[in-house]
């Protein structure tokens, strides 16, 4: 009887969907056994309940509302940072101006020197390292 219950769970209560030999044996078992009939009836009722739940209509637009809610929650993760330009006020503006000024200053200091002939300075000699026995 345990095997019959397992097969009902796996294949469902419709014996026509079972393999032919197993379906015929299951039909014969339900004719002979009261317990098999009870298990088969329970499986049919359960199958009908699941079918009704699966066929239930969703309210109009429910799927769209679910997707929109998920998308809005994803965008809210960084939304606090960009929600209001006044959030950081003059401190944020001051930081941006200071960063820009430091970048301009460092850029002007790092300008390459001009060679005597008016061409670009060759940085290759600045990065070469010559080791001699005395330097070690």
pLDDT of residue 109: 72
The helix/strand/coil state of 19 is coil
Q: Give the residue extent of every domain in the chain.
A: 2-55
> C-alpha angle 43/49/51, rounded to 5°?
100
Does 36 have pLDDT greater than 60? yes
Instruction: Please state the φ and ψ torsions of residue 83, each to the nearest 5 degrees.
Output: -65, -40
The mean per-residue pLDDT over the stretch 102-108 comes to: 80
Cα 109 from Cα 135, distance rounded (Å): 31
The mean per-residue pLDDT over the stretch 114-130 comes to: 56
> C-alpha angle 47/52/55, rounded to 5°?
125
Tokens of 55: 């066929």
Does 103 have pLDDT greater than 80? yes
Is residue 39 a contact partner of residue 8, using CB atoms and an 8 Å limit? Answer: yes
Instruction: Tell me the percentage of the chain whose pLDDT exceeds 70.
Output: 64
**Rg of the chain's alpha carbons, rounded to an integer?**
40
Segment 5-19, tens digit of pLDDT: 888 888 889 989 889
pLDDT of residue 69: 83
Segment 43-71, tens digit of pLDDT: 999 888 888 776 667 777 777 888 888 77
pLDDT of residue 126: 53
């Amino acid at each position: 009887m345990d095997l019959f219950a397992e097969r009902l769970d796996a294949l469902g209560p419709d014996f026509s969907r079972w393999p032919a030999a197993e379906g015929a044996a299951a039909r014969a078992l339900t004719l002979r056994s009261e317990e098999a009939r009870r298990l088969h009836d329970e499986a049919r009722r359960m199958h009908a309940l699941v079918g009704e739940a699966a066929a239930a209509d969703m309210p109009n637009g429910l799927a769209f509302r679910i997707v929109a809610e998920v998308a809005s929650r994803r965008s809210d993760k960084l939304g606090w940072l960009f929600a209001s330009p006044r959030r950081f006020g003059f401190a944020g503006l001051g930081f941006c101006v200071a960063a820009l000024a430091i970048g301009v200053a460092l850029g002007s200091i790092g300008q390459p020197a001009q060679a005597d002939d008016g061409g670009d300075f060759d940085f290759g000699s600045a990065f070469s390292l010559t080791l001699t026995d005395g330097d070690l």
